[in-house]
Amino acid sequence: MKKKRKILYWSPRVLGILAILFISIFALDAFEPGLTLWQQLGAFLIHLIPSFVLLLLLLIAWKREMLGGILFFILGLVLSPVVFTLNYNMNHSVWMSLGIIGVITIPFVITGALFVANAMQKEGGV
């Protein structure tokens, strides 16, 4: 039983970290030839703003699991139609756009659900 609690405790944290690292990879497109080093670093930091926001959200969830879990869950659900629409307008493929949602936003929904499940388990609700 104790092993199950540890898995439920660590899985949302690890998944959240991995999802944030994955989102951070997209900031690497800020490096392009023709710009000075300072311009590239500035653009890189601007591209990392979503990762910083997600990291802040992860820190909140780490300390207050129920609140953070609900925020992660809502964030993933709200961003899913936005990401779908943006990608569908670029590639005109429903299946490709759904796959992109599965990779980008669904991990945050799952992370939120796992944080909430862990918080409920601690309270004796599950």
Q: Is the pLDDT of residue 1 over 70?
A: no
DSSP string computed for 5-36: HHHHHHHHHHHHHHHHHHHHHGGGGG--TTS-
> What DSSP string describes 53-66?
HHHHHHHHHHHSHH
Instruction: Give 19-52 pLDDT, tens digit per residue.
Output: 999 999 999 988 888 888 899 999 999 999 999 9
Domain with 87 in it: 2-123
Mean pLDDT value across residues 62-80:
96
Structurally, the chain folds into a number of domains equal to: 1
Residue 112: the pLDDT is 97
